[in-house]
Amino acid sequence: MIIDPSAEDRLDRAFSALADPVRRRIVARLSRGPATVNELAEPFEITKQAVSKHIQVLEQAGLVTRTRDAQRRPVHLDPAQLEAMTAWIDRYRLLHEEQYRRLDAVLEDMKKETRK
Amino acid sequence: MTNPLSVSAPEGLPFIDFEREFDAPVAAVFQAHKEPDLVKQWMGPRDYDTEIEIYDFQTGGRWRFVQRNQEGEEYAFNGVFHVVRENEFAIQTFEFEMFPEAVSIESLTFEDLGDGRSRVRGHATYPSLEARDGMVSGGMEGGMNDGYQRLDDLLTALVAETS
């Protein structure tokens, strides 16, 4: 479907960046507005350095950007990449993936029923 | 461990193909597509209650179900089962009632893989590319009004996937 290979690479990077729970929580926090590294580090029991690393990964995946000039250098969400991830084909895939996982559970129940 | 779902949508053609394997015999997978009580448990988007009005999974049978979210919004879908062959094959039509007459035709092939495993292959044909892209996103986006709602959804799905 996606014929531009670099776009596909970027999408892969974004998906793997979001495979980490801490990074997902950072993105979820940023969806409510920009924040500094300090603010982002607050809810986590990890060092500021570790949070910085996570932000770097998100930055390389094109999910967030940092303002260069400002002293506080707040981190912003970059909606373009997220928009690309919510392309209809990915949404179709997620919806059906989820649906078929529920079907797996139904099939598992059916197996138990017949064993009784 | 779950079986991956592969989905492909060819450029410029209004088709969608998918393939998924199951750790269950083909008869069980077929049954889970046939019996409304089972269908209700897995079909449709999460967070939606599915009310099956009619679901007659046999050649010439009809189906219609309504999905409701917590806000009380309703989305209805209907179609006919053009042909159903037990444990093998089915063709059905699919209409999202918000976009009447943009009907897609979907075939499902059930395959026995031995060792209690099976595979389902699906092929959907839409009347146009717009219908393909629009029906999929329209069906799932109903009631969503800002981009971050979609983000939350995506993240929830990713969380569910990794947990």
pLDDT of residue B12: 83
Question: Can you give the pLDDT of all 163 residues of chain B as single tens digits?
Answer: 467 778 787 878 899 888 989 999 999 999 999 999 888 888 876 667 889 999 999 999 999 999 887 888 888 999 999 999 999 999 999 998 888 888 999 999 999 999 989 999 999 999 988 888 776 554 443 333 333 444 445 545 544 544 4
Against a cut of 0.80, is the pTM above it? no
| CB-based contact A105 B22, cutoff 8 Å | no
pLDDT of residue A4: 54
| CB-based contact A86 B154, cutoff 8 Å | yes
| CB-based contact B45 A82, cutoff 8 Å | no
Averaged pLDDT score across all residues of chain A: 80
User: Any chain B CB within 8 A of the CB of A82?
Assistant: yes
Neighboring chain B residues of A99 at a CB cutoff of 8 Å: 42-45
- Condensed to tens digits (0 to 9), the pLDDT of residues A30-87 reads 877 889 988 899 888 888 899 999 999 999 988 999 877 556 788 988 877 777 666 6
Q: Which of A96, A97, A107 is the closest to B29 by Cβ?
A: A107
Closest CA to B66 of B80, B44, B46, B51: B51
Confidence of residue A88 (pLDDT cuts 50, 70, 90): low
Q: Report percent pLDDT > 90 for chain A.
A: 17
The single residue listed with the structure tokens 């109903």 is B142
CB B21 within 8 A of CB B109: no
Neighboring chain B residues of A95 at a CB cutoff of 8 Å: 45, 140
Q: Which of A21, A101, A103 is the closest to B32 by Cβ?
A: A103
Q: Which of A24, A28, A102 is the closest to B41 by Cβ?
A: A102
pLDDT of residue B149: 46
Mapping DSSP to helix (H, G, I), strand (E, B) and coil, where does residue B5 land?
strand
**Strand ranges in chain B using DSSP code E only, listed in sequence order:** 5-8, 15-22, 49-55, 62-68, 74-85, 89-96, 104-114, 117-125
User: Any chain B CB within 8 A of the CB of A33?
Assistant: no
